[in-house]
Structure 1
Amino acid sequence: MEMVQFEAAGSFPLTYCANAHPARDLAEAEKVLREVVGPVLRGRLGAGVLCFGAWWPQDVVGELNAQATSEGDTSFPHRDLCLSLRLAPRSLNAFPMNRFHGEPVKERVYEPDWGSPARLSYTLDCAALQAEILRAFGIPSGVISTLPLGFRGRDRKARPKPEQRDNLVRLALGLAAIEQRTGVRIQVALEPEPWCLLESMGDTLSWLEGEAAPQAARVGAEAVLRRHLGICLDLCHAAVVGEDPILGLRLALERGWQVPKVQLSSALVAGNAAGLEALRAKAEPIYLHQTWLSTGRQGPFLDLDDPMLHAFALAEGEELRSHVHTPLHLEREGPLRSTQDQVLAFLRCVQAGEIPEGTVLEIETYTTPRMDAELAFVCEALGLGSENPPIS
């Protein structure tokens, strides 16, 4: 495949999400862009205009808004930096609205949920800033991933709320106004995640068709909703809940819903007693590691420190799949295997032309800042920068 296909304006913009790198403010985020993200991407993807997967927590968005409004039409320093670096934020992660490193995050990552006006305001601010920067590059579209409505609750009893639906319809109308003003189409993509209100592609399609689309139709905005609201497919999340991501993507497209971003990510799987013990040892204080048993005999488990998870043994043929974002290039980690095979299967579909052009391919392994090996794995799998044939 030609390298140009993976540049920011190419058929399959390839990047990684900058949420792998802690940054306390805009100055630190820009330093990471100059000194880490840019060199890593350039080392594999060349000198063209490349896509970078931005992550702007709300305090950084506040700084960017101050720049964009105080400098007037002639200058927007962050936009100008992106132009000088030839790095375009074609993809933006607006799932974590607040800080994501250095302190316990757990279920706080889902706050505020889509029932909150603050979530709507933040996401529209992200979209307006992204559109302004992409317009300067002449790139006509961008994608923002967001949380799948909200957290299901520790007891798993929470259900989608009308105010979440209504705010996403308002979001679509706001994105349409941004497109009219800037000429840049921004799509916000719901990212199904285990233990959230929308855990799978199936959940998401059911909610879109049963709740969001009918509400949008009532206010004459169903076409607007379908143009600006889509789905972000995270391969790790799909693996945990036991969903075939390729079939899920095809089903979404068949039903007229777009999947503008795919997050290339691996989960960890335990298939025996040694693996189960190794997986339990992955419990830590920062992130949730939602865990599913392949047979559904027990669980699901909210986290690896769940007492129930420590009180059972795997039966013959069972697997325990956990939301532990694992480096893509690792097939195994001791007695644990990764779901790398699922990532490779998806990349074969990219090579075969089965994925719609314009889909952003974003490496999303926020648990490691060493993204050079991740990017190298994907590039080599796609036959980029190598005389070796593509994956088979």
Structure 2
Amino acid sequence: MHLSYCTNVHPAEDLDGVIAQLREFAGPARRQAGFDTLGVGLWLPAQLAHELATDESARDRLRAVLDEQGLEVRTLNAFPYAAFHAEVVKLDVYLPDWTDPRRLEYTIDAARALAAMLPARADGSISTLPLGWRTGWGPEQDAAATEAFAVLVAALRQIHDTTGHTIRIAIEPEPGCILDNVADIVDWLSARTDVIDPEFVGVCLDTCHLAVSFADPVAAVAAIHDAGLTVVKIQASAALEVLTPADPASREAIAAFAEPRYVHQVRENQGDRILRVDDLDEALATLPADGPWRVHFHVPLQMVPDAPLSATTDVLLSAVDAVVSSRPEHDVHVDVETYTWSVLPEPPADLAAGIASELLWAQRELMGTRTE
């Protein structure tokens, strides 16, 4: 298992900014955690991905800083195209979608850049959005997305033939999107294996998203495996859970997490059905609150929310165990993705220390060292 932390927590949009964040946060987090080497799951905005794919001197600058700080790269986050730390992001994070040629160009650039930065003989992974947001999607859009992935697979084969590195794309199901959950992505990819080679395209299992969908993590991983697909990447994350959302104290506690930058989808489990809304404000205003809620808000993995809230850490642990058990002979990329530090009700005073604490938790609980 290869552990990293995803740098989409930082707002850098260019190479100078990425270099600064590696020196200010990633390197100090590695040292505070006591790791000899730390993996970073770089978020590369589209313009920077293109620069790194085409400019060897830019790659050399980045490699030098990675080496200087004791860091390595095996995975990228290519879900947000740009401006992930704008004042308001919300549904813009799903643009451009997979019908837009810019999404394909961005992903190929990211793959070429990653292949040039990987350690010798290592394979890489890149997470991407689940086609797009669900509205305005029909057969024409689906056909365009399928064709884009076919072109992408051809590019990935060429990268492998040229560099010897296999780069795999990990499609990340997310509530509210075309591929809302694991069942959706299994169905979509299984129907297209003739044009979308499973050797190069599989699943990014974001365990916050998995929890929000109220899926059983062991069954979800089994469904992926039984379909002949691969969990290419795990995004280690935890959602917020509200067991008694009608309770005034619970409503007050969860309302503190409603904020204007990111979308926080909410699902209510009524036993025989799951109610769905697209943001926390909407949930507080419209859901009946007859059953427990899960909220798409990535909380730090080591964080134990104050009662009456809780976190879906058990889903994360079960999912990781299931993935490792299902593919013991393969590398597993585990990328800690807590991009919400800055929008927590009480952001940390020392972000590097918070990341170090989270990585130590992940090493202990996820990497085979935990004690029962």
Same fold (TM over 0.5): yes
| Pairing 1:38–2:38 present | no
- After superposition, what is the alpha-carbon deviation per residue over 1:211-230, rounded to whole angstroms, capped at 9, x for unaligned? x224x1xxxxx5xx111101
1:66-105 aligned within 5 A: 67-68=55-56, 71=57, 76-105=60-89
> What residue identity is the alignment partner of 1:332?
P
| Pairing 1:196–2:163 present | no
Q: Report the secondary structure of 2:105's partner residue.
A: helix
Structure 1 residue 175 displacement after superposition: 0.5
Contact 2:173 2:180 in 1 (8 A): yes
> What residue identity is the alignment partner of 1:247?
A
Q: Report the secondary structure of 2:40's partner residue.
A: strand
1:325-344 aligned within 5 A: 325-344=298-317
- After superposition, what is the alpha-carbon deviation per residue over 1:128-177, rounded to whole angstroms, capped at 9, x for unaligned? 0100111xx30431000000000013xx8767611011101111111010
1:119 alignment partner in structure 2: 103
Identical counterparts, % of pairs: 35
Q: Distance in 2 between matches of 1:107 and 1:382?
A: 31
2:241 alignment partner in structure 1: 269
Q: Distance in 2 between matches of 1:333 and 1:290?
A: 21
Q: Report the secondary structure of 1:267's partner residue.
A: strand
Structure 1 residue 115 displacement after superposition: 0.7
Give the TM-score taking structure 1 as reference length. Answer: 0.84
1:58 alignment partner in structure 2: 46
- After superposition, what is the alpha-carbon deviation per residue over 1:308-356, rounded to whole angstroms, capped at 9, x for unaligned? 64245422xx201110111111232342111012223345557x75554
Contact 2:251 2:284 in 1 (8 A): no
1:1-392 aligned within 5 A: 12-44=1-33, 46-48=35-37, 50-65=38-53, 67-68=55-56, 71=57, 76-134=60-118, 137-153=119-135, 161-210=142-191, 212-214=192-194, 216=195, 225-272=197-244, 273=247, 274-295=249-270, 299-306=275-282, 309-315=284-290, 318-349=291-322, 353-356=325-328, 357-368=330-341, 369=351, 370-382=354-366, 390-392=370-372
- After superposition, what is the alpha-carbon deviation per residue over 1:55-93, rounded to whole angstroms, capped at 9, x for unaligned? 10012224324532xx49xx7322333344442210100
Structure 1 residue 24 displacement after superposition: 3.7
**166-175 vs 268-277, greater mean Cα deviation:** 268-277
> What residue identity is the alignment partner of 2:254?
L
Runs of at least 4 residues of structure 1 off by over 6 A?
none
- After superposition, what is the alpha-carbon deviation per residue over 1:266-310, rounded to whole angstroms, capped at 9, x for unaligned? 11111221323422342211000001011265731111121x642
> What residue identity is the alignment partner of 1:289?
H
Contact 1:348 1:391 in 2 (8 A): no
> CA distance change for structure 1 residues 198 and 129 in 2, over 3 Å: closer, same or farther?
same
Q: Report the secondary structure of 1:332's partner residue.
A: coil
> What residue identity is the alignment partner of 2:371?
I
Q: Report the secondary structure of 1:344's partner residue.
A: helix
> What residue identity is the alignment partner of 1:288?
V
> What residue identity is the alignment partner of 1:55?
W
> What residue identity is the alignment partner of 1:23?
A
Q: Distance in 1 between matches of 2:327 and 2:71?
A: 24
Q: Report the secondary structure of 2:277's partner residue.
A: coil
Q: Report the secondary structure of 1:284's partner residue.
A: coil
Contact 2:53 2:112 in 1 (8 A): no
Q: Distance in 1 between matches of 2:90 and 2:159?
A: 33
Q: Distance in 2 between matches of 1:303 and 1:101?
A: 18
Contact 1:237 1:267 in 2 (8 A): yes
Contact 2:208 2:236 in 1 (8 A): yes
> CA distance change for structure 1 residues 383 and 55 in 2, over 3 Å: closer, same or farther?
closer
Q: Report the secondary structure of 1:324's partner residue.
A: strand
Aligned residues: 355
Q: Distance in 1 between matches of 2:318 and 2:11?
A: 31
Contact 1:106 1:286 in 2 (8 A): yes
Tell me how large the CA RMSD over aligned residues is. 2.4
Which ranges in structure 1 are unaligned for 5 or more consecutive residues? 1-11, 217-221
> CA distance change for structure 1 residues 169 and 268 in 2, over 3 Å: closer, same or farther?
same
